[in-house]
């Protein structure tokens, strides 16, 4: 029993380090996507008021799930590619979807009659057409989302 207890203590002692190591390895853009999606869900519920539709909410959650599948696909491509990929594919995909989520949050505010602050509009405008340079690779991110919000 004492030996089992010692093993259990060792596993419990190691667990926080393993969890911290996993969390530390996640790109800030991936964390950003997670938080922007939470904010979008809450702002969407607020903007829906009494016109909440489960079919509409389900479609939105399916899109959010697909975003995560794209991020995961980017991560797997970088991880298992036989050709070295020297840029963070998953973070770039997450960054693109962060902009999409911020636009959706701004749309939810517009539904409530609250115009997005000027600096936020400016940042979204800059990021809807951004070029990221990593070594010899240049990637241009574009979104077709509308930037102008009308209440």
pLDDT tens-digit profile of 92-101? 899 889 988 9
Say what the pTM is.
0.70
pLDDT (average), residues 24-53: 87
Burial (CB count within 10 angstroms: exposed 0-12, middle 13-18, buried 19+), residue 111 = middle
d(CA 44, CA 132): 30
pLDDT at 115: 86
Rounded to an integer, the average pLDDT of 128-137 is 59
For residues 118-134, average pLDDT: 71
Q: What is the mean pLDDT of residues 43-65?
A: 86
Q: Which long-range contacts (CB under 8 A, 24 or more apart) does 41-44 make?
A: 43/104, 43/105, 43/108, 43/109, 44/104, 44/108
| Confidence band of 133 (pLDDT split at 50, 70, 90) | low
Most confident of 28-37, 54-63, 115-124, 125-134: 28-37
Tokens standing for residue 44: 């969407």
Query: Which stretches within the chain are classed as H helix?
Result: 2-24, 28-48, 54-80, 89-111, 118-127
- How many angstroms separate the CA atoms of 116 and 72, rounded? 31
* Residue 58 bridge partners (DSSP): none
Tokens of 141: 């991110």
Residue 54 banded pLDDT, cuts 50, 70, 90: confident
């Amino acid at each position: 029993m004492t030996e089992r207890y010692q093993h259990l203590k060792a596993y419990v002692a190691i667990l926080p380090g393993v969890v911290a190591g996993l969390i530390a390895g996640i790109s800030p853009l991936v964390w950003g996507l997670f938080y922007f999606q939470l904010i979008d869900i809450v702002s969407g519920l607020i903007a829906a008021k009494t016109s909440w539709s489960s079919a509409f909410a389900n479609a939105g959650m399916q899109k959010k799930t697909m975003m995560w599948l794209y991020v995961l696909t980017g991560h797997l491509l970088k991880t298992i590619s036989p050709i070295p990929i020297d840029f963070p594919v998953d973070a770039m995909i997450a960054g693109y979807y962060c902009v999409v989520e911020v636009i959706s949050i701004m749309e939810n505010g517009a539904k409530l009659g609250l115009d997005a602050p000027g600096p936020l509009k400016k940042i979204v405008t800059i990021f809807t057409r951004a070029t990221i340079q990593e070594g010899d690779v240049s990637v241009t991110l574009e979104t077709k989302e509308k930037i102008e919000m009308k209440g």
